[in-house]
Amino acid sequence: MEQPEGTHLAEINIGRTKGTVDDPVMKEFFDRVDAINALAERSPGFVWRMTGEGNHAMDVRWTPDPLDAVNLSVWETPADLANYVWKTAHQHVYNRKAEWFVPSEKPHFVMWWVPIGHLPSLDEAVGRLEQYRAHGPSDQAFGWQELPEAKLFRERRCA
C-alpha cells in the first residue's frame, strides 16, 4: 500500500497493563515511559502524540479501567514510525512487553492515513481499531504487513 499524497500516518496501540502505576511489577515500565515518549518527540518524522494532563500519555483513558493503556500518534511516513519503533531505545521496551502487558487475543495496533494537519481523536482511533478487528485490513485501517516498506516489522515481528 502506497502512502497517498498529502497524508501522514496515524497509529493507535492499546494494551492492558499487568498493574497500575503504583504496582511494583510495572515500575520499570513506568520509569521509562517519559523518556521513551520524549525520544519519540525528538525522532525524525514525528508529528504528534496524544497526551493527558501534564503531558503524560498514561493519563489518556480509552476505558475507565486504569489498567487499559493507549498510545495514539501521527508520523510523517511509515518509515519514520518504523525507525522509531525498531531502531531506538523503544525496541528494548518493546522486547519486554510480555513482562508488563497482558497478551491480547485481538489486534491491538492499527494504522491509517490522515490528511496532513489532522490530529485524530481517540474516538476516531478506537473506531479504526474496531473496523480493523471486524473486517481486517483495508485502505481505512491496516497493519505493518500491508506496508511494503515495513522491512523492520518483517525482521522483528510487530503485532
Q: How many domains does the chain have?
A: 1
Q: Which residues make beta-bridge pairs with 12?
A: 72, 110
Distance CA 58, CA 153 (A): 25
pLDDT by 10s per residue, the chain, length 159:
899 999 999 999 999 999 998 999 999 999 999 899 999 999 999 999 998 776 555 677 778 888 999 999 999 999 999 999 988 888 888 889 999 999 999 999 999 999 999 999 999 999 999 999 999 999 999 998 888 766 555 555 544
Question: Do the domain assignments include residue 2?
Answer: no
- Domain of 29? 7-156
Question: Do the domain assignments include residue 123?
Answer: yes
Question: Do the domain assignments include residue 1?
Answer: no
Q: Report the CATH number that the domain containing residue 118 is assigned in CATH.
A: 3.30.70.100
In degrees, rounded to 5, the angle at the alpha carbon of residue 50 between the alpha carbons of residues 102 and 134 is 55
Question: Do the domain assignments include residue 104?
Answer: yes
Distance CA 107, CA 134 (A): 10
Distance CA 65, CA 128 (A): 21
Distance CA 87, CA 151 (A): 12
Asked whether 88 and 82 are in contact (CB, 8 A), the reply is no
**Element housing 101 (H / E):** strand 101-102
Question: Do the domain assignments include residue 128?
Answer: yes
Contacts of 17 (CB under 8 A, 6+ apart): 26, 29, 67, 68, 69, 100, 101, 102
What pLDDT was estimated at residue 66? Answer: 87
DSSP string, 114-132: EETT----HHHHHHHHHHH
The structure's pTM equals: 0.90
Cell of 45: 518524522
